[in-house]
Structure formats: structure tokens, C-alpha cells
A and B are shown apart, each in its own frame.
Chain A
Amino acid sequence: MIPSAFEYVAPTTVEEAVQALAEAGEDAKVLGGGQSLVPVLRLRLAAPTAIIDLSRISELRGVREDGDAIVIGAMTTHHDVLNDPLVAQHAELLAAATRTVGDPQIRHRGTFGGALVHADPAGDLLAPAVAMDAEMVIAGPDGRRTVPASEFFTTLFTTAVGADEVLVEIRVPKKTGWGAHYEKFNRVAQAWSIVAVAATVRTEGGSIAEARVALTNMGATPIRATAVEEALVGQQAGAESIRAAAQHAAEGTSPMSDGNADADYREHLARVLTGRAVATAAGVGG
């Protein structure tokens, strides 16, 4: 299939991109890595009049250190996130989830920022962003603003990024030395997550000192499993205590039913997978 015709603009700076968006009007779309957008265009599920391609904006790519955070350019590919030493050192959870995104070819093109702004509730990078309290830096006609991950995802396929804005970078607070695991459950390797759990924990002397857990595809947006986190903190890092804490995983979720899974099954999976994710993150066997 072939997309409908559109105008193509490839700005080289963020300011040019914002300008181009303003000029192109509301039927424009921003092209990141294109790994969801191009298939959507091919299927003609969308027919924008203009495409603003961010791939020529070099400042949007790469990972840098900034105090107690690492800052990831929105157009950094999944492949580059995976191979970045700062990510490996300070954001193991993000690396673990990124490893499960799409397939190798898709990871070569697809971008971190693109995946976040696409905001597919089954996307694998939303929950880690929420779990790690990432902050999104957004550029628009009035300059830049920062939105915390907890407020970034507003509903299905919708984020705080306005029609005249672009996501510039993602600030991820360092979780140096934390254990992490992304437990993904899908039917075949190519399929999207039915449910997945992002967990990262800091242990101290055999106890869980801090825990961050978030769920993929348990609602219209990624959901932080705060009840699980609270139940974990201060507990011995053991199979039983983790399993008990994981029983809270479905609290506050509103999973949907589709051809792969009904809501009650998703709730069940959330509990089981949370237990597994946290156990692995905490280095607890079994």
C-alpha cells in the first residue's frame, strides 16, 4: 500500500521544526523514526497533508549526562539507547524494555521519543518512563516546557505534546545500581504486549529500600503500581514477600478486553508478572 500524497519538510533545528508545524497547520504530522507512522500512512489510517521529518535535527539525537539525570534526545534510536553506556549504567530498566521493542530493524529506525509520543498503551517504553519518573521536555511556539511522565500520557495515543509542539528530550533520573527487569507477555515475538511490567528496585542488606513498578497495557495510559511499591518497601527481598506485594498489581487499573485477552485475565497477568518482574529485578530466584 502507498500513502496518500503529502508535503514533506525536513527541518534541521527544533525551532525550524516548530515553525514548520505552525505553517503546515493542523493536518500535519511529525515523523520520528517512522516505524509506526509509516505503516499507518500506508494503511491510510491517517492522511496528513504535511510530514515534518525530525530526522535531520542532530540536536535531538544522543544521550548525555546532566547531574542526577541522563538526558536522551527524542530522536535517539532504540538501537542507540541499547548501546549507550550511560543508559546501561544508570537506567537499566529502560535498556531492558528497549530490548523488547519491535525487532532489530525497527530498533534501528524507531526512536525513544517517537515511541513515547505515539503513546500506544501496549508500547514498551511508556511504563519504564513512568516508573523512572522521567521528565519530557517539549518545544512549542512559546518555548520549552517540562512535563513529568505521570502527566505526559493523557489517554490512548495521546500525550501532553500539543499539535504545534515537538518532544525534544527525555530526562531520566539516574537509578544507578538499581536492579531492573521488564517482564513482557505477548503471544508471538512480533506481537504487542498483552501486559508487561516494568520494575526497578534498590536493595539494601537484603531488603527492598526503594521500588518502582509500572504496568504496560493495563489501561489507556501506563499505570504506576503504587500499592505494589508501598507493599515492597522495607520488605525482605524474598519470593514470598514479593508475591504478596504483587497481589496489589491490578489495583487501580482499568484494562481492556480484546482478541488476545479479557480484562480479568489481564488483571491476573499483572499480578503474576509483577511478582516475576520484581523478583528478577531484586535478584530473587524462583
Chain B
Amino acid sequence: MTRINVMVDGVSYVDDVEPRTLLVHYLREKLGKTGTLVGCDTSNCGACTVHLDGRSVKSCSVLAVQVDGSEITTIEGLARDGVLHPMQQAFHDNHALQCGFCTPGMIMQAIDLLGDNPDPDDHAVREGLEGNLCRCTGYQNIVRAVLDAAKKMQPGAHSDTAQQPSTVAGGGN
């Protein structure tokens, strides 16, 4: 067991974890953050996408021990005081989800995408979501939602979405 200190959705946790525990399993099983889902075992589907120190990662390909000292935002940490994040709202407004299983990862990645490119076109949105699979929507309304959110989130999209200060400069993690 290895001790980790981690901030998840604004709450600080200290836990002992087995080195082999994946971040997604730590979030789901230890913290009860079952909003983040596991859809594959090869990091293709992206359902487990969370923000680690302000950047989207697939939490199935990160070990929990690796996030010691980090800050994590999951789908459950987006809405504030009951107000949906604009991306969540856009997914609802544009019928960008059906079964909902890809949705948490898709929303987290979509937010990251707009952080990098606040004014993407259809092509850029599709490329930015290439690591997230959806089997229900054919992606059309997801793309529509992201473009809609982009419009509504300007200006200052990045500061609005990355809850934690980015520590990416100098190499990320």
C-alpha cells in the first residue's frame, strides 16, 4: 500500500492504495465517484476521462499512486451550486447523449478541447474527440453541443473550465 494525497472535485483525500489500483477504480470504488465509467481495457473508449491537474486524461491508464499531490476533476465536480457547467447544459440542449455511458468522458474531453481551442470548427471538434467512443449518437449532436458550448463560453473559456491552476508548464505529469 502506498499513501496518496489527492484533491478530487474540491475535496481533499488521504488514502492508502495498492500500486496496481487504476485511478478510475480508486475514484469509483474508494471515493464512490461512480460518475466516471469504465468502458474498455485498452484506453480506446475514453469513458473514464477526467481532468488531472487541468488536463484531460484517461483515468484507466493512470495509476492511482501516480496522482499523489494532484488535483482531479470528474464529471461530478463540474456543476457548481446546482448550476450545470455550460458543456453539460449544451449536451442537454442539443440531445448529445442517449444511453449516457460515454457522456461523462465526452463532456470532460469536450471541455479540455475548448481549453485548447476556444473557437473550433466542426472538423476540430471531431478531431478533438477522437479518443472518445460513442455508440448511440453518431456524434452529430455531440459535435453540435460542443460548438454550441463554445459559443456560449466565450470569452474566457479556459479559465471557466479548468477549475484548478494548470501545472502543465514544464511537462505536465
A and B directly contacting (CB within 8 A): yes
Interface residues of A (CB under 8 A from B): 1-8, 10, 31, 34-35, 38-39, 41-43, 51, 53, 55, 58, 61-62, 73, 75-77, 79-80, 102-106, 108-109, 189-190
Q: Would you call B57 and A61 a contact (CB within 8 A)?
A: no
Determine the distance from Cα of A3 to Cα of B17 in the docked complex, in whole angstroms: 14
User: Is B81 an interface position by the 8 A CB rule?
Assistant: no
Determine the distance from Cα of A198 to Cα of B33 in the docked complex, in whole angstroms: 43
**Could you tell me which residues of chain B, from 18 to 32, have a CB within 8 Å of some CB in chain A?**
18-22, 25
Report the nearest B residue to A63, measured CB to CB.
B171
Determine the distance from Cα of A4 to Cα of B20 in the docked complex, in whole angstroms: 7
Contacts of A39 in B (CB 8 A): 41-43, 60-61
Task: Please give the distance in Å from B48's CB to the nearest CB on chain A.
Answer: 9
User: Is B156 an interface position by the 8 A CB rule?
Assistant: no
15 A–B contacts, CB within 8 A, in A order: A7-B19, A8-B63, A34-B63, A38-B43, A42-B22, A43-B41, A43-B42, A58-B170, A103-B130, A104-B128, A105-B43, A105-B58, A106-B43, A106-B131, A108-B55
Q: Would you call B168 and A80 a contact (CB within 8 A)?
A: yes
Contacts of B98 in A (CB 8 A): none
Cross-interface CB contact of A105 among B63, B109, B168, cutoff 8 Å:
B109
Q: Which 10 A-B pairs have the closest CB atoms?
A: A103-B131, A61-B171, A8-B19, A189-B130, A38-B61, A3-B20, A1-B41, A108-B55, A105-B58, A103-B130
Q: A38-B43, A38-B62, A104-B130 are in contact. List 20 more A-B contacts (CB 8 A).
A: A2-B22, A5-B18, A8-B65, A10-B66, A34-B66, A39-B41, A42-B22, A42-B41, A53-B66, A61-B170, A61-B172, A76-B171, A77-B172, A80-B168, A80-B171, A103-B130, A104-B131, A105-B109, A106-B61, A190-B44
Q: Would you call A55 and B55 a contact (CB within 8 A)?
A: no
User: Is B157 an interface position by the 8 A CB rule?
Assistant: no
User: Is B87 an interface position by the 8 A CB rule?
Assistant: no
Contacts of A79 in B (CB 8 A): 55, 168, 172
Determine the distance from Cα of A7 to Cα of B65 in the docked complex, in whole angstroms: 11
Contacts of B61 in A (CB 8 A): 34-35, 38-39, 106, 109
Q: Would you call A55 and B41 a contact (CB within 8 A)?
A: no
Place the interface of chain B in its size category: 35 or more
Task: Please give the distance in Å from B82's CB to the nearest CB on chain A.
Answer: 28
Cross-interface CB contact of B65 among A2, A10, A106, A109, cutoff 8 Å:
A10
The CB with the most chain B CB atoms within 10 A, among A1, A8, A51, A105, is that of: A105
Report the nearest A residue to B56, measured CB to CB.
A105
Task: Please give the distance in Å from A146's CB to the nearest CB on chain B.
Answer: 22
Cross-interface CB contact of B62 among A34, A58, A190, cutoff 8 Å:
A34
Determine the distance from Cα of A1 to Cα of B132 in the docked complex, in whole angstroms: 19
Q: Would you call A38 and B171 a contact (CB within 8 A)?
A: no
Contacts of A105 in B (CB 8 A): 43, 46, 49, 56-58, 109, 112, 131
Report the nearest A residue to B128, measured CB to CB.
A104
**Could you tell me which residues of chain B, from 93 to 116, have a CB within 8 Å of some CB in chain A?**
109, 112-113, 116
**Could you tell me which residues of chain B, from 36 to 95, have a CB within 8 Å of some CB in chain A?**
41-44, 46, 49, 52, 55-58, 60-63, 65-66
Q: Would you call A103 and B46 a contact (CB within 8 A)?
A: yes
Given A39-B43, A43-B42, A103-B131: A109 and B19 interface contact (C-beta under 8 Å)? no
Determine the distance from Cα of A24 to Cα of B92 in the docked complex, in whole angstroms: 51
